[in-house]
Structure 1
């Protein structure tokens, strides 16, 4: 049996951030993941200003910025016409932009930092059961191993075994639409310093730059194939984009369905939740991975304090602070998703109203603060 202060289940961005932050504060950490290796695809691609601020505490931000693409603007467009511009460049932060970087790169840099601090990921390691008493948590794995910890954190995603074992509900539902996700190389007017969201009568499409010269394409499409082809991505851009964009290659593609759920609680005794184990929502606004990273830093502070003798009500404070933020993000991304997928007959009215909002500086500044995560400081 292994003894540790904190057992973290799940080595995605949330678990890796939590491990690094705890190790930096002298906490004994065991980090496990059921996958045989880390992510090698881009998946989440945007790191917002607030996440860059908190990652600076564990000395990861400078490494990310070196490998990413800075996008100080987010625009919503109807073909070539700009309806609304969200400008991050005037925000009161050292990072007035969205950093576009593949999730695989984010995870690689976080893992490098964990290893610098003396930690690592044990994999593949699949959790089976969790039991706890007043003093410790005991986790049993499918290979027969057990780990005894003072606290256990579930950072093991939407289908969290930790959350299920702790008996914590996961309230919410799923959207009816499927989404196409592709990283493609493009020829034409595709700027490398701006994230563009196109709202067309046929549906929406997001086009965002990536560091290797490719672009992230996201679009709702019912009946999408498991691996969308270059021809399909081209058709989506032709039908919904600005025109003139040519897909020369698809580097990677997938499809996904969106859920919107928040855990009923973030704590059950010595078991805590963070990241997608605690909340999942639409990728509209690019908040998912960012919210998990910010959970991790807040939880690391709470755990380190409690392990150093502070009352364990600090852990209740973590849950009480972070869960309402998740609810706000779910509500925001739900509104954005429903606006993007409203019936075709209502889309011209939506676009006209959005154009009016785009001419109201106070509203666009407020949206910049929310999308950047700075409103949650």
Structure 2
């Protein structure tokens, strides 16, 4: 296992991996990707597909029961949790994508210098800041981002799910991304990046994230003033890269999470040898085929004894399941040849994630998940219809 810092500005369908996760097999650099154009101006995230307007707010909880795993001087674990949810309010100030400081640290961490460092803070979102939630007893989806990335890089997916009638809790796992702004305005940087070559690093990260998620579920059930908005019997978790690995690790530890999705993340959790029956879906790049470079999915597939799917997207790269390709133009990054276009990658991610959640949290059967679709030819169902090395 190794942490691959981006050596060239490269995004799937536009922007390269800003800093590829230590928890997924790194994609080889593409010679045709790199800064080559004038930045296009602020990016605008695609509108949610669901019927509901979307609101968002931020919580800053502190877990006093355990120390921070990365900051040895901190006796408690501070987190940032961004919530997206349905609202009746259509007008109002749109929430910021990230702060100028967060944008600067993320771009510097990824060695992206093709646009002003505050560029990502100007990204236009769809959610109304601090709008009052609407609805009651809605299913909850927890989102966990890739290593070095803030949860804001999953905003497009989060807004779409909220528009479809879900409450979404995105967790910034402090000191595991280039920048996390805390309640007092301090910006916590990536202390975990100093340990990413240590033996057992991936397992350590996912276990810590599982603890973060369990704490947040406790918080949302008992202390959040809108806890009645959530049906706490219908909870799922999804994540990208090590966030996807953390979804499986969390499910093994916390039975409240009924279903999970791993988007292109090498897994580290120890699944019981007698099998794991809760629904789970792998969605990844062509590297994640049976017998491919990353064998963790082969190992875990055999132990998933309940409903399961293993999908690969042709042309996808590691960041295709995040917002980063959508932000390429604003950073003046030229798309790499042969990579899944940014808008299509976002559409496929939203479509298949929502189908999985609708089936397992809303009990709505989804024929889309039963096999290949002529409307989505990029999606292969493994092991039956995906190519092997």
TM-score above 0.5, yes or no: no
TM normalised by structure 2 equals: 0.24
TM normalised by structure 1 equals: 0.25
> Which structure features the higher share of strand residues?
1
> Which structure features the higher share of helix residues?
1
